[in-house]
Amino acid sequence: MFHVVILQTQKDFRAVQRLPFCYLCADHLLEDDVTDSDHVPAKATFNARDREPALKLRTHKRCNANLSVDDKKLGQLIALRRRESPPPRRDQALRFMAQRDMVAVTNLNIDAAVWRWIRGFHAALYREPLIVSARHSIRTPFPRADDVQGQLTLQPLLEQHRLIVVTLKRNRVWRNMDSIETNRGRLRYECVWCLSDDATTWLCLFGVDIYDWKDLGSSSPSIPARGCAGMYQREDGLRLEMASVNRDSPIEVPNDDPLDPFGK
């Protein structure tokens, strides 16, 4: 029997606002803890008209205290996709490095910021924390590059990315995915669980889209645009009973955009 978990209404999000743990550190919240709440993703990521319905999760105040700078940077990056006017120079948080036809963000760990979202989504869907050190792999729309003595060298996109994309699309056809849709549909998260190749570990394969942010990445023939996709596993390598399970099917699914889990 197949199960799916879907969060997309204000009622759904209210049901997870009072979870008994801090999704950032994964510890349970005690009566005398000083607590806070965190929007996942941060409010700064969205245009003002898109800020509801929103996913908010409880945190320790100390855990949430130092995230505002990265949230501001990521918000400014996503605002470029919406073609909003850049903030005044004194308020610009992002720093860039240009080389030939490439421009790199140098002061934001985008993968770490998105990993925080994924951990929040896991907490909301499955009502349990996901530790920050859980094994995971993420590819965002932004190609990774190594800075070697001032020269940017791109890292290749692994074949694993394509396999995740086609698995997500196949399960979407069957409506067999756990999902979160927030902020008037501007953010979409979908995931499905499958066994590793050696059948010893359960992996959660996921895709994330926010404002069609694939277009913020490269679109050159040598560096094709890609959506955000990745995988992670729980600490014990198992899956939860309530989680969706990969449904294998011999049916071919449309996959004209093999690098974007939300593309055709």
- The pLDDT tens digits for 114-161 are 999 999 999 999 999 999 999 999 999 988 777 776 676 777 788 999
Instruction: Give the integer Cα–Cα distance in Å for 131 and 177.
Output: 22
Of 59, 15, 69, nearest to 39 by C-alpha is 59
Average pLDDT over residues 174-200: 96
What's the predicted TM-score (pTM) here? Answer: 0.93
Residue percentage of the chain with pLDDT more than 70 = 95
Amino acid 261: pLDDT? 96
Q: In the prediction, which pLDDT does 14 show?
A: 96
Is residue 91 very low, low, confident or very high in pLDDT (cuts 50, 70, 90)?
Answer: confident
The chain-wide mean pLDDT, for the chain, equals 91
Look up residue 216 and give its amino acid.
L
**219-223, 249-253, 260-264 — which one is most confidently predicted on average?**
260-264
pLDDT tens digits along 44-66: 999 999 999 999 999 999 999 98
The reported pLDDT for the residue numbered 36 is 95
Query: Looking at residues 58-77, what average pLDDT do you find?
Result: 93
pLDDT attached to residue 209: 97
Band of residue 219 on the pLDDT scale cut at 50, 70, 90: low
Question: pLDDT category, 86, cuts 50, 70, 90?
Answer: confident
- Residue 143, preceding peptide bond in cis (omega within 30° of 0): no
* 87 DSSP assignment: P
The whole-angstrom separation of Cα 109 and Cα 20 is 29
Q: Tell me what pLDDT residue 53 has.
A: 95
Q: Is 159 left (phi over 0), alpha (psi -120 to 50) or beta?
A: alpha
**pLDDT at position 3, please?**
75
The better pLDDT of the pair 245, 249 is held by: 245
Note the pLDDT tens digit of each residue in 229-240.
999 999 999 999
How far apart CA 232 and CA 3 sit, in angstroms, is: 19
Asked whether the beta carbons of 56 and 37 are under 8 A apart, the reply is: yes
Residue 76 has pLDDT above 80, yes or no: yes
Name the most confidently modeled range: 58-67, 91-100, 216-225. 58-67
Residue 98 has pLDDT above 90, yes or no: no
In the three-class reduction of DSSP (H, G, I as helix; E, B as strand; rest coil), residue 128 is classed as coil
Q: With a cut of 60, say whether residue 249 has pLDDT above it.
A: yes
What was the pLDDT predicted at 234?
A: 98
